[in-house]
Chains A and B, each alone.
Chain A
Amino acid sequence: MTMIDEQPPRAGKRPATVQGSAITLAHGGGGKAMHDLIEDVFLGSFDNAVLATLEDQARFSLADLARHGDRLAFTTDSYVVKPLEFPGGDIGKLAVCGTVNDLAVGGAIPLHLSCAVILEEGLPIELLRRIMRSMAVTARAAGVQIVTGDTKVVERGACDRLYINTAGIGVIRAGVELGADRGRPGDVVLVNGLLGDHGAAILNARGDLALSTPIESDCAALHGLIGALLAAAPGTRFLRDATRGGVATVLNEIARASRVGIEIAENQTPIRSEVKGFCEILGLDPLYLANEGKIVCVVPEAEADAALAAMRAHPLGAGAAAIGRMTSKQPGRVVMHTGFGGRRIVDMLIGEQLPRIC
Chain B
Amino acid sequence: MKFVDEFRDPDKAQFLLTEIRALVGRIERCRSRPLSIMEVCGGHTHAIFRYGIETMLPEEIELVHGPGCPVCVLPMGRVDDCITIAQTPGTIFTTFGDAMRVPGSKQSLLQAKADGADVRMVYSPADALALARKHPDKQVVFFGLGFETTMPSTALTVLRAEAERIDNFSLFCNHITIIPTVKAILDSPDFQIDGFLGPGHVSMVIGNTPYNFIADHYRRPIVVAGFEPLDILHSIWMVLKQLAEGRAEVENQYSRIVPEHGNQVALDAIGKVFELREFFEWRGLGSIDHSGVRMRKEYARYDAERKFKVLDAVIADPKACQCGEVLKGVLKPWGCKVFGTDCTPETPMGALMVSSEGACAAYYRFGDLEKIHLKQVAARAPERA
Q: Could you tell me which A residues sit within 8 Å of B by CB distance?
A: 208-209, 273, 276-277, 280, 282, 330, 333, 336-345, 347, 350-351, 354-358
Contacts and interface: CB of A to CB of B under 8 A. Distances in A.
B119 to A, nearest CB: 12
Contacts of B14: 341
A355 B346 contact: no
Given A341-B52, A354-B100, 14 more contacts: A277-B1, A333-B370, A338-B50, A338-B52, A341-B56, A342-B53, A344-B52, A345-B368, A347-B364, A347-B366, A350-B346, A356-B356, A357-B98, A357-B145
B77 interface: no
A342 B346 contact: no
Contacts of B149: 358
A356 to B, nearest CB: 5
Nearest to B202: A358
B367 A345 contact: yes
7 contacts: A340-B8, A340-B229, A345-B367, A350-B345, A355-B96, A357-B98, A358-B146
Contacts of A350: 345-346, 365
A347 B365 contact: yes
Nearest to B11: A341
A338 B366 contact: no
B375 to A, nearest CB: 15
Given A340-B10, A342-B52, A342-B53, A273 B1 contact: yes
Given A345-B367, A357-B71, A339 B10 contact: yes
Nearest to B96: A357
A238 B317 CA distance: 46
A342 B54 contact: yes
Interface centre among A273, A282, A338, A355 (most CB of B within 10 A): A338
Interface string B339-369: 0000001100000000111000000111111
B25 interface: no
Given A277-B1, A350-B345, A356-B46, A343 B99 contact: no
A147 to B, nearest CB: 37
4 shortest interchain CB distances as A-B pairs = A342-B52, A354-B97, A357-B96, A355-B97
Interface in B101-159: 101, 110, 121-123, 127, 145-147, 149-150
A343 B1 contact: no
Contacts of A333: 369-370
A339 B127 contact: no
B213 interface: no
Nearest to B100: A354
Interface in B45-77: 46, 49-56, 70-71
B150 A340 contact: no
A308 B121 CA distance: 41
A357 B4 contact: no
A350 B365 CA distance: 9
A276 B4 CA distance: 10
Contacts of A341: 10, 13-14, 52, 56
A355 B229 CA distance: 20
Contacts of A276: 1
Contacts of A342: 51-56, 229
Contacts of A344: 49-52, 55, 366
A347 B356 CA distance: 12
Contacts of B101: 351, 354
A358 B146 CA distance: 8
A354 to B, nearest CB: 4
Interface string B365-379: 111111000000000
B127 A358 contact: no
B284 interface: no
Contacts of A357: 70-71, 96-99, 145-146, 150
A338 B8 CA distance: 10
Nearest to A351: B101
Contacts of B365: 345, 347, 350
B226 interface: no
A355 B98 contact: yes
Contacts of B98: 354-357
Nearest to B8: A340
Given A340-B10, A344-B366, A345-B365, A358 B201 contact: yes
